[in-house]
Amino acid sequence: MSDISYLDVKPPYRILLGPGPSNIHPRVQRAMIAPLVGHLDPYFGTVMDDTMSLLRFLFRTKNELTFPISGPGSAGREASLCNLLEPGDVAVIGVGGFFADVMVENALRCGAEVIRVDAEWGRIVEPEAIEAALKAQKRVKLLALVHGESSTGVLPPLTEASQLAKQYGALFLVDAVASLGGEEVAVDDWGIDICFSGSQKCISSPPGLAPITVNQAALDILKRRTHRVSSFFWDLLELSNYWAYNCDKVYHHTAPVNLVYALHEAVALIADEGLEPCIQRHHRHGLALQAGLEAMGLTLHAQQGYRMNVLASVRIPAGIDDMRIRQRLLDEYSIEIWGGFGKLKGQIWRIGLMGFSSTEQNVLLVLFALEKLLAEEGYPVEPGAGVTAAIRALRKEYRTVALS
Residues 254-293 that bind its own copies (CB under 8 A): 254-259, 261, 264-265, 267-268, 270-272, 274-275
* Number of residues binding to its own copies, judged by CB under 8 A: 89
Cα–Cα dist 106/73, whole Å: 13
Q: Which residues are registered as beta bridge partners of 175?
A: 146, 196
Asked if 1 interacts with its own copies (CB under 8 A), we say: yes
Asked if 102 interacts with its own copies (CB under 8 A), we say: yes
Asked if 186 interacts with its own copies (CB under 8 A), we say: no
Residue 87 CB: number of other CB atoms within 10 A? 11
Which CA distances in Å does 125 have to 90, 173, 177, 264?
18, 15, 18, 34
Determine which residue in the list 230, 241, 280, 359 makes contact with its own copies, applying CB under 8 A: 230
Determine which residue in the list 110, 130, 195, 370 makes contact with its own copies, applying CB under 8 A: 110
Asked if 197 interacts with its own copies (CB under 8 A), we say: no
Judged by beta carbon, residue 124 or residue 373, the one nearer its own copies is 373
Applying the rule CB under 8 A, the residues between 313 and 332 that interact with its own copies are 330
Judged by beta carbon, residue 181 or residue 386, the one nearer its own copies is 181
Judged by beta carbon, residue 42 or residue 378, the one nearer its own copies is 42
Residue 349 near residue 316 (C-beta atoms within 8 A): yes
Determine which residue in the list 21, 97, 340, 386 makes contact with its own copies, applying CB under 8 A: 21
Asked if 13 interacts with its own copies (CB under 8 A), we say: yes
Based on the number of CB atoms within 10 Å of its own CB, is 9 exposed (0-12), middle (13-18) or buried (19 or more)?
exposed
Asked if 247 interacts with its own copies (CB under 8 A), we say: no
Within a 13 Å sphere around the CA of 227, how many CA atoms are in the beta-carbon half? Answer: 14
Helix 360-376 / helix 385-403 crossing angle, nearest 10 deg? 160
Asked if 38 interacts with its own copies (CB under 8 A), we say: yes
Cα–Cα dist 21/42, whole Å: 31
Determine which residue in the list 60, 67, 73, 183 makes contact with its own copies, applying CB under 8 A: 73
Asked if 67 interacts with its own copies (CB under 8 A), we say: no
Asked if 71 interacts with its own copies (CB under 8 A), we say: yes
Residue 86 CB: number of other CB atoms within 10 A? 19
48-56, 217-225, 279-287, 362-370 -> range binding its own copies (CB under 8 A): 48-56
Asked if 139 interacts with its own copies (CB under 8 A), we say: no
Residue 237 near residue 223 (C-beta atoms within 8 A): yes
> Minimum Å distance from CB 39 to its own copies?
7
> Minimum Å distance from CB 312 to its own copies?
17
Asked if 68 interacts with its own copies (CB under 8 A), we say: no
Residue 199 near residue 208 (C-beta atoms within 8 A): yes
The number of residues making up the chain comes to 404
Based on the number of CB atoms within 10 Å of its own CB, is 35 exposed (0-12), middle (13-18) or buried (19 or more)?
exposed
Applying the rule CB under 8 A, the residues between 144 and 173 that interact with its own copies are none
> Minimum Å distance from CB 20 to its own copies?
7
Residue 291 near residue 285 (C-beta atoms within 8 A): no
Residue 340 near residue 6 (C-beta atoms within 8 A): no
32-40, 130-138, 154-162, 358-366 -> range binding its own copies (CB under 8 A): 32-40
Residues sharing a CB contact under 8 Å with residue 298, sequence separation 6 or more, in sequence order: 314, 315, 317
113-121, 164-172, 188-196, 198-206 -> range binding its own copies (CB under 8 A): 198-206
Applying the rule CB under 8 A, the residues between 347 and 376 that interact with its own copies are none
